[in-house]
Every structure is written in structure tokens, then in C-alpha cells.
Amino acid sequence: MTVVVAVVGPTATGKSDLGLALAERLGGEVVNADALQLYRGLDIGTAKLPVAERRGVPHHLLDVLDPDEDATVAAYQRDARAALADIAARGRRAVAVGGSGLYVRSLLDHMEFPGTDPDVRAALEARVEAEGARALHAELEAADPVAAGNIGPRNARRIVRALEVIALTGRPYSANLPSHDYEVPAVQIGLDCDRAVLDERVQARVDRMWAAGLVDEVRGLLGRGIGRTASRAVGYAEVLAALRGEITEEEARDQVVAGTRRLARKQMGWFGRDPRVHWLDARDPELVDRALALVAAADAGTLGLATDDPAPRRSLGS
């Protein structure tokens, strides 16, 4: 299989623009690796690239779920790898774009998915309702500190899944996470950005979302039905709270900015731990050419680990 190009990193760094430019230059097609962009109708709040702005480049794994469905990494892996095979069979290059770390890893690395047990999951979900997600997160931390470190204390769905796997397998949930070994030949290009600049970009993005009608988008979703995954996403959870009258719209807007900034730091932490990600400055005027050079080196088999890069990434926290 031709080397897959993956454009990764924090939100608001310009991954969609770079992915589109690389697909154009490489004769490629984009494969979405953002969990929320799988959903139909979640457009403004996910910064989904409108069809009119895709410049004729085919995009895969966008708008494949209804808002009341729950996305799963296992289903994404199945469908996204089928898309890779289809793209390769037509002699095209796949360019995966997204900031959902586990989805990127499931696409590129060896990753298996333990089964489920409805009774175990239901019991854990009932405990979340009764005790709160933080209580179960503390339990996960005691059983599997590595998994707890990768899962936020408010992410009830992933906490439940981790505890379910531990209960079913008797092994740490983290034992099922992928190692840093490609199952799909790939080069990962990460976009980095100074914290102050990224904070400004996040603010500007939220301002654009509000101007584009995010509140109306969320109001429309209420009429269609919105599931647990979509309703808890940054941007959607806050607007839903405002529509329920729990907070003001201005408070919702401020919370979306703060939540998006936290998300960006979490994404940098996830991708920053992967030594295979080659980091580029999102503001570099030669960004596309530098990215193409990385792809060329990967194609030639001369690209080493990112730790060998002459200009390693800055920390997002700097």
C-alpha cells in the first residue's frame, strides 16, 4: 500500500487546509479522522470543511452517522480501512486528517477491540448516574493508572468502556491500546503552534462559529434527536445548556472557548507522546512544501523517527 499521509495535531492549527493542499498536490483523497465530523448536521461546531470549499477533492468518512447514533472506534477502524483500500485500489493517495487521537491510532496501528457485555456496561452506566464520572475515574485510576491518565475524569463513556474491558478480560484496559508500530504504512505530520497564537486562533474560530449560526445548528439538532456522544461534544454541550436556560448564551460562548483550549492541550499531549509524529510550525509560509518533503522522504524510505528531526516541536505549553 502507498504510504498514507496523516495530518494530526491540536484543533485550530489548520489541519483541514493542509490536508486539502496535500491531497491536491499528491493526487489524493481525504479520509476524516475526527470523531465528531462523522456526524451529519454537526457542521459549524466541528469546523467541517463545506463541500464547496473542498476544491473537488473526494472526502471519506464525513456525514456517515446520524446525531442520535454513538460513534465507536471499532466501526471507524473498519470503515476507514475499507476507504484506504478503495483509495489505494484506484491508484490514489490517502490523506487522513483529524485530531481524534484514538481514531488515528486505530486507522494506522495494530489495534484490537475486546467484546462487550450489556449487563456489565449497564451496571457501570447506572453507577455513573448515581455516583458521578469522577468516582468511577478514581476506580479506574486505582486499577489502571495508564488508562486513567489518558481518559479525562468527565469522559464517562470512555471510563465505562475501560472498566468494562477490565471486568471482562481481567487485564488493564491500557494493555489493549496500540503500540507505536504502524500496521498501515504512514507518515504523520503534526501541526504545532505557540500557545498564545493558538489561543487567539481558538477565540477567532468560536467567533466565526457563532457568526455562522452555531446556536441555530444546535437548535435544529434538538428537533432531529441528538445522542450522548454528540450532545457532550465541546461546542454542542454548552449551547445545549444555554438552550435549556441553564446558562446564558454569552456564558456558553466563553465556555466553548475555554473547552476548546483544553481540548487543544489534550490533543497535543496525546500526539506529543508519539515519537513518529513529525512536527511543523502551523504558521510556516513554506508549510506545504515542508510537508511534501516529509512525504517524499517517507516514500523513499529515508524518513527516521521524529526525534531525529533537526527542528523538534515546541511544547504547546511554552
The predicted pLDDT at position 306 comes to: 67
Band of residue 307 on the pLDDT scale cut at 50, 70, 90: low
pLDDT digits (tens, 9 = 90+) for 30-69: 999 999 999 999 999 999 999 999 999 999 999 999 999 9
Burial environment of residue 58 by CB neighbours within 10 A (0 to 12, 13 to 18, 19 or more): middle
* CATH of segment(s) 4-111+183-308: 3.40.50.300
- Common-topology check for domains 4-111+183-308 and 118-176: no
Question: Binding site for ATP: residue ranges?
Answer: 9-16
Q: What is the CATH number of domain 118-176?
A: 1.10.20.140
Q: Domain-by-domain residue ranges, the chain?
A: 4-111+183-308, 118-176
Binding residues: 9-16
- From 103, 95, 83, 97, select the one nearest 295 (Cα to Cα): 95
Catalogue the E-assigned strands of the chain.
4-8, 28-32, 59-60, 93-97, 186-192, 277-281
Per-residue pLDDT tens for 242-294?
Answer: 999 999 999 999 999 999 999 999 999 999 999 999 999 999 999 999 999 99
In this predicted model, what pLDDT tens digit does every residue of 68-125 receive, in sequence order?
A: 998 999 999 999 999 999 999 999 999 999 999 999 999 999 988 888 899 999 999 9
In whole angstroms, what is the distance from residue 36 CA to residue 239 CA?
Answer: 16
| Region 190-204 average pLDDT | 96
Query: What predicted TM-score, i.e. pTM, was given to this entire model?
Result: 0.86
Binding residues for substrate: 11-16
